[in-house]
């Protein structure tokens, strides 16, 4: 009973991060606004592309681990990758974003990723 929930949450989170990465590549300015720190219209688009590639790669790696590895590998991945939304929380707070975006989006995401790791470790 626990395995489908653990794997399902890991797949869902990985697909979500893949979607976010794709959005940063296709619609960088709206994606940055959704991140919590709007990009300047005349800013360097390379940094938004870097975020898109990073997130897309994290999503694909998560899917690959779930598909081709065991629960332990996927759990360790989720545990380590939870550092990203924790770091994003700090980035949003330090760069003029709202506390609601920092904690409601990024910190909450980190907690869900940690929950995913715990469920995968329990399988």
Place of tokens 């940690």: 114
Q: What is the pTM of this model?
A: 0.92
| pLDDT value at residue 43 | 74
Contact 55, 21 (CB under 8 A): yes
In Å, what is the CA distance from 29 to each residue of 5, 46, 53, 98? 34, 12, 15, 17
**Length reported for the chain:** 123
**Tell me, what's the pLDDT at 44?**
78
For 96, the 3-state DSSP assignment is: coil
Q: What pLDDT digit, counting tens, does each position of 12-46 carry?
A: 999 999 999 999 999 999 999 999 999 988 877 89
| pLDDT attached to residue 12 | 98
pLDDT tens profile 59-103: 999 999 999 999 999 999 999 999 999 999 999 999 999 999 999
Q: What's residue 42's pLDDT?
A: 80
The position carrying tokens 């709007």 is 38
């Amino acid at each position: 009973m626990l395995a489908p929930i653990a794997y399902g949450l890991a797949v869902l989170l990985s697909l979500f991060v893949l979607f976010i990465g794709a959005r940063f590549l296709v619609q960088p300015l709206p994606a940055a606004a959704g991140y919590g720190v709007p990009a300047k219209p005349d800013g360097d688009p390379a940094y938004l592309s870097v975020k898109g590639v990073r997130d897309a790669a994290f999503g694909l790696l998560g899917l690959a681990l779930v598909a081709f590895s065991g629960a332990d590998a996927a759990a360790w991945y989720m545990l380590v990758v939870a550092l990203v939304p924790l770091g994003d929380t700090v980035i949003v707070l330090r760069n003029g974003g709202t506390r609601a975006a920092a904690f409601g989006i990024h910190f909450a995401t980190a907690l869900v990723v940690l929950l995913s790791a715990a469920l995968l470790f329990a399988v």
